[in-house]
Amino acid sequence: MKTGNLEIKEKAALAPLAGVADRAFRELCRGYGAAYTVCEMASAKGISLGDKKSAELLSITPTERPAGSQIFGNSPETMAIAAKKALEYNPDFIDINMGCPAPKVASSGGGALLMKDPVLAADIVKAVAKVSTVPVTVKMRSGWDDNNINAVELAKRCEDAGASAITVHGRTKVQMYAPPVNTDIIRQVKQAVSIPVIGNGDVVDGISAARLMEETGCDMVMVGRGALGRPWVFSQINAYLDHEVIIPDPPVVERMRVMLKHIEVLCKYKGERIGIREARKHAAWYTKGIYGAANYRARIGLINSIEELQQIALELIEQNR
C-alpha cells in the first residue's frame, strides 16, 4: 500500500490503542511483522499547551517505524498547531482520530463526535494537511449510531480535504465494541474513494484478516484488541495472507518469554513503578486461555515487581509441561 510518499509492505497494522500501544508494545508488534504502528492518541489542546504527557505520547523510536502520531481535537487551528509540534518527533504520518468512542474524548468534541459534523471534520483535515510535511490519515467509525451511518460521506470529504488514507472501524460510536462489524460500510468507503482504505474490526488471526479484505476490498487491515497479549498475531496474519499458512499460537513457554521481555522493556521506558502497574493488565492478556491461568488472576493483579511476574510465569510453564 502506498499513501503519499510512504510505502507500506505488509498488510496488518497495529491500532492506536490508548493505554496499551505505547513504545514497548509498538516495538514488539513491529518485530512480529506489523505493517506500521500508530502512537496512542494525544490531545491537540494538550500538545499546543506543551503538556509533558502529550510529548511522551508523540515519541517514536527507530525500531517501531513506520509509525504515525495520532492527534484528536475539534478545532482546525489547534489541530494544525498540534500537527506542527508532532512533526518535531519525525512521524512517518499524522493520523487524525475521528473514531474514539470514549465519553471523555467525545465530550471534548473530538474522536467519534466529529462524525456528527462532517464539514468541521473536513476543515480539520484540511488545516492539518496544509501544515504537514508527511501524509495525513484519518481513523473513523461507520457512524455515530445505526440511524447515522455516514462513513462514506465523511471519507469523501476527508479525501477532498487532503487525507492520504482512511481507516474505517466497522462499528458505530454507540455500538462501542459490541458485535457485529459492518463490513458493508467498509466496502462502500473503499468504492467511494481513490485513496487507500484500511479495514478495522474483529481481526484476530489470518483467516479473519483475509475474510475482511475479501468482503470489503480494503487495502489493509488494522488489529486492535486482537493483539492484546498476542503480538505474534501479525506474523500469523502475514503467513496466512502471503502463503495461506496457519501458524498456531506459540506454546506457553514462548508466550511467557515474550511477556517477560515486553514487561522488561516497558519498565525500562517508564520505570518499574509505573511499568509493573501497567504490566498487570498485559500479563492478564498474555495468560488468557492458558490452562490453570485463572487461578493466577488475583496474584497477577497484585504484582509489585518483575520477579513476582517471573515466578508466576515459571509456575504456569511447569503446570503446562
Going along the chain from its start, the domains and CATH numbers come out as 2-243 (3.20.20.70), 252-319 (1.10.1200.80)
- How many CB atoms neighbour CB 90 within 10 A? 15
Looking at residue 180, the DSSP 8-state letter turns out to be: P
Q: What is the pLDDT of residue 239?
A: 98
CB burial of residue 78 (10 Å; 0-12, 13-18, 19+): buried
Q: What is the pLDDT of residue 92?
A: 97
Pick the closest to residue 44 from 15, 89, 18, 76 (CA basis).
76
Phi, psi (deg, nearest 5) at residue 7: -110, 125
User: Residue 128: CA atoms inside 13 Å, Cβ hemisphere, count?
Assistant: 38
pTM of the model: 0.95
Looking at residue 66, the DSSP 8-state letter turns out to be: S
Cell of residue 235, nine digits: 506474523
Catalytic residue among 100, 158, 218, 267: 100
Q: What is the pLDDT of residue 307?
A: 97
Q: What is the spatial distance between Cα 102 and Cα 116, in angstroms, rounded to a whole number?
A: 15
13: β partners: 222
Q: What is the spatial distance between Cα 80 and Cα 62, in angstroms, rounded to a whole number?
A: 25
Q: What is the pLDDT of residue 32?
A: 98
Pick the closest to residue 269 from 24, 17, 97, 84 (CA basis).
24
Q: What is the spatial distance between Cα 46 and Cα 259, in angstroms, rounded to a whole number?
A: 32
Q: What is the spatial distance between Cα 152 and Cα 189, in angstroms, rounded to a whole number?
A: 5
Phi, psi (deg, nearest 5) at residue 4: 60, -130
Phi, psi (deg, nearest 5) at residue 15: -70, 155
Active site residue 100: yes
Q: What is the pLDDT tens value at each position of the chain, 321 positions in all?
A: 888 889 999 999 999 999 999 999 999 999 999 999 999 999 999 999 988 888 789 999 999 999 999 999 999 999 999 999 999 999 999 999 999 999 889 888 899 999 999 999 999 999 999 999 999 999 999 999 999 999 999 999 999 999 999 999 999 999 999 999 999 999 999 999 999 999 999 999 999 999 999 999 999 999 999 999 999 999 999 999 999 999 999 999 999 999 999 999 999 999 999 999 999 999 999 999 999 999 999 999 999 999 999 999 999 999 998
Rounded-to-10 torsion of CA 183, 187, 188, 190: 140
Phi, psi (deg, nearest 5) at residue 178: -75, 150
Q: What is the pLDDT of residue 292?
A: 92
